[in-house]
Amino acid sequence: MTRLEGKIAMITGAAQGMGESHARRFVAEGAKVVITDLNEEKGMALASELGENVLFVKQNVTKAEDWEVVVAKAEEKFGPVNILVNNAGITMAKSILQTTEEEYRRIVDINQVSVFLGMKTVIPSMQKAGGGSIINISSINGIVGGAIGYTDTKFAVRGITKAAAMECSNYGIRVNSVHPGVIATPMVVQEDTKAAVDEFAKHIPLKRVAQPEEVTNIVLYLASDESSYSTGSEFIVDGGLTAM
């Protein structure tokens, strides 16, 4: 028996990186998966590769109307949604003095407001399904400090997860946050950052960066019924960084 048999999942920012890893594993574990991204070319290619149990929908996660469309298409194609992985997000590495108001509001919209919109739109679908699991991807910078904008929004994801978990317990919906450290995604290991990442890895207790699949293992656990008594909690995947 596969771990997500009979489940309907939505994963945002799933055209590449961690989102792609989650999508591949969810399909392998028996789920029907709606993947969304702004990158239509990569999203369509991944959906085509993974087959009939995957639907790609182009989505701007900061737009409420896009969320309405995605949920409607998910229900039309597969049925009410059981799992939401709020994975879409961006990074920013500027000082507070260098960051413009426009840049700040953009990262808040993408990293924080999108999580609110996603949960607000998907919860009614999960109620139809009789319950569900929401996994909000934060960061270790939702636990400890980091760059302005990114840290703020990732702490907010941690907070909204706890608030939603309290409310959603009445609906049979669990809500948890995942806090990755340094992960070997295309955004992290591109040529202009690879040397810096390799050097930083020497200071991680486990002496390496993580592979996306190592985060996926935690996300899969939270999506499955194996985590039936976990809600409102943080799950850290950082090789020991925040233990230092």
Name residues whose C-beta falls within 8 Å of residue 60's C-beta, 6 or more positions apart in sequence.
Answer: 38, 66
75-94: pLDDT as tens digits: 999 999 999 999 999 998 89
187-212: pLDDT as tens digits: 666 665 677 788 889 999 999 999 99
By percentage, how much of the chain surpasses pLDDT 70?
Answer: 97
- Residue 149: pLDDT above 90? yes
Q: What is the pLDDT of residue 191?
A: 62
Which residues are marked as active site? 150
Which domains does the chain show, CATH number per domain?
8-183+212-237 (3.40.50.720)
Q: What is the mean pLDDT of residues 11-26?
A: 97
- Residue 111: pLDDT above 80? yes
